[in-house]
Amino acid sequence: MQSQELLKQVHLKVSLARTSVLQQLLDAKTACSAEQLYLQLQQQQSGLSLATIYRVLTDLEQAQLIERQYHQRTKASFVMRQQRTQFQILDLQTGQIKAFEHDNLSKYLASVGRCYATEISQS
């Protein structure tokens, strides 16, 4: 139901396609590409085409519910737009980008840096 409420708040018509894509993004712990969303929705037998998912992602981005992100000039990925500051860290061994957020970021970043045996500078 949260996805339907968000769609109503931004004055978008509540449709199966929009609700399904938005719910997947709400449930996701990391950024998802359109292709990843397509595969996840196919497993749920949603019947949505890849073109429909791209159209819905564009609608949601224009309504400022989601953000499009590019990592290392590869395919775009999509995340829910956050009111809080969200940071990302790149695992150089796996290439995965992990998102995190925290209320007291300075202390948290220092501890993350110690875990990865590096110093994190703030700009």
Is 108's pLDDT higher than 90?
no
What's the CA gap between 44 and 61, in Å, rounded? Answer: 23
Lowest mean pLDDT among 5-14, 15-24, 57-66, 113-122: 113-122
Q: 48 or 108: which carries more pLDDT confidence?
A: 48
**Beta-sheet strands, E only, within 28-108:** 66-70, 76-80, 87-90, 97-100
Is 123's pLDDT higher than 50?
no
Q: What is the mean pLDDT of the chain?
A: 83
Is 80's pLDDT higher than 80?
yes
The reported pTM is 0.64
